[in-house]
Amino acid sequence: MSIRYLSESENYKVYSLDESVYLKDKSNSKKVTDYEERDELITWVYGNPDSALLSWDEKFVVVGGCGITIYLIESKECIDLFNEPNDITWTEGVYQAAGDDIHFVRFNVLTNTDKLQVVKLNIKTQEFEVLS
């Protein structure tokens, strides 16, 4: 089992161990090791996660791979999108664009016809827009 670092901010670190994705609160960490029993399991991603981001305001985590997972840090709520068993969307390269409001993220999607698209997602409403 190897650790894969996906995102880091001043107070948090997101990493995966195979298909499991964890959130480490760096302010509570006293150990030197990267994986600890008290790190929070935030989601499980079929086929391993591709990427993740911690929002600029450290309010949410978004994980790409098999669909998209939104994890709201304060409420510990997990929202899964685009990963229904018969309708999986493979996502990659999750990021926040400088010109967007804080509650928007963008990511790449590989369509059924092997075409790459950029999608803009509103975290608050889960509405999305295909940009290209």
Beta partners for 118? 108
Tell me if the pTM is above 0.75: yes
Residue type, 10: E
Residue 107 CB neighbour total at 10 angstroms: 23
CATH 2.60.120.560 fits 3-130, yes or no: no
Q: For residue 7, what are its two tokens?
A: 């995102």
DSSP 37: T
Q: Kindly report which listed range (29-33, 43-47, 107-111) carries the lowest average pLDDT score.
A: 29-33
Q: What are the sequence ranges of the domains in the chain?
A: 3-130
pLDDT in tens, 48-101: 999 999 999 999 999 999 999 999 999 999 999 998 888 889 999 999 999 999
